[in-house]
Amino acid sequence: MATRRAPQRAAPAAARAVPLPEKLAPQLATLVAGPPADPEQWTFETKFDGYRIMARVESGAARLFTRNGHDWTSKMPELARELGALPVQAAWLDGEVVILDHNGLPDFQALQNAFDGRTSKIMVFFAFDMPFCNGSDLRGVANEQRREALSRVLQSAGGGRHRFSEGLDARPQELLATACKLGFEGLIGKRKSGLYVSRRSDDWIKLKCTRRQEFVIGGFSDPQGSRKGLGSLILGARERRLPQLRLQRGLRV
């Protein structure tokens, strides 16, 4: 099958013509206690509960790398084939791989089961940035422009296992409350004028949902290796409708 190609567009003025790098470290978000004082200068997206993946696409083939640079292409062959068919000659895409439950929410346990071969559910790649595209280095281009370029690429390719991480249009306080109520991890905020840097940056922030839960300590294990004091705890949590305790898997301390 021939690889689809998007209509050629002029690169943004700040883009530089460069060969596609073999490796690329992702930009990381800084955890903050609350929304920024100038929310109009930011865009907000859902914080997905999945695996961060950097996709290198070149000449109809894609390689998928973890946040730490490990090649996981063989773990996600179908997703790699679909991303390789995107209408670009060469690009780096930044995103999150998730599995969605019947309510459309990320299911991290199902994702882990998929890697263990215990489920046939479809992995979905939510793309939220494109640092390189068709010979242009977009890292020096404002976040808004990079996302516009990414949106055009994904829209021209249609749906499937890859989707665009849409921006959310409301006050960040309201967005965070809704995200927490629906069961998401929180929000990611990105400065509209921010550049792409391969490190933790204040131009990307994360607002996390805080949850509280009371547990009963049912036991502990002795420390092993370099650990001192305790190895792990056995915790119990009360079910809402049942008086008995439900054991949780060991929590390492």
CATH of the domain at 195: 3.30.470.30
Would you say residue 60 lies in a domain?
yes
Residue entry with tokens 């894609």: 62
- For residue 236, what pLDDT is reported? 79
Mean of pLDDT values over 118-133: 92
203, 232: one domain:
no
pLDDT attached to residue 216: 80
The SS3 of residue 20 is: coil
Mean pLDDT of 249-253: 44
Task: Answer whether residue 4 is part of any domain.
Answer: no
The reply to whether 170 and 235 lie within a common domain is: no
Are 61 and 178 found together in one domain?
yes
Q: pLDDT (tens digit, 9 = 90+) per residue, 141-175? A: 999 999 999 999 999 887 789 999 999 999 999 99
Number of domains comprising the chain: 2
Which range has the worst mean pLDDT, 105-114, 170-179, 233-242? 233-242
Q: Are residues 184 and 231 in the same domain?
A: no
Q: Is the pLDDT of residue 57 over 50?
A: yes
Residues 30 and 151 grouped into a single domain: yes
Q: What percent of the chain has pLDDT over 90?
A: 67
What's this model's pTM, rounded to 2 decimal places? Answer: 0.78
Query: What are the angstrom distances between the C-alpha of 1 and each of 62, 77, 81, 84, 186?
Result: 15, 17, 11, 11, 39
* Average pLDDT for 93-117: 92
Catalytic residues: 47
Q: Are residues 87 and 31 in the same domain?
A: yes
Q: Is residue 3 part of a domain?
A: no
What pLDDT was estimated at residue 8?
A: 43
Contact status, residue 220 vs residue 228, Cβ threshold 8 Å: no
My answer on whether 23 and 123 are in the same domain is yes
Instruction: Find out whether 54 and 94 touch, Cβ atoms under 8 Å.
Output: yes
- The answer, yes or no, to whether residue 50 has pLDDT greater than 80, is yes
Domain shared by 46 and 102, yes or no: yes
Considering only CA atoms, which of 227, 228, 156, 142 is closest in space to residue 190?
Answer: 142
Structure confidence at residue 5 as a pLDDT band (50, 70, 90): very low
What local confidence, expressed as pLDDT, does residue 116 receive?
84
Does some domain include residue 10?
Answer: no
In the predicted structure, residue 214 carries a pLDDT above the cut 80: no
Whether residue 183 sits in one domain with residue 236 = no
Quick one: pLDDT at residue 11? 58
**Residue 8 within a domain:** no
Assess if residue 108 is contained within a domain: yes
Q: Within a domain: residue 5? A: no
In a shared domain, residues 231 and 130: no
192 lies in the same domain as 233:
no
Contacts of 70 (CB under 8 A, 6+ apart): none
**pLDDT confidence of residue 251:** 44
The answer on 185 and 234 residing in a single domain is: no
pLDDT tens-digit profile of 195-213?
999 999 999 999 999 765 6
pLDDT at 12: 63
% of the chain with per-residue pLDDT over 70: 85
Tens digits of residue pLDDT in 23-44:
999 999 999 999 999 999 999 9
Q: Is residue 173 part of a domain?
A: yes
Going by C-alpha positions, the residue among 194, 212, 214, 213 that lies closest to residue 204 is 194
Domain that holds residue 110: 16-208
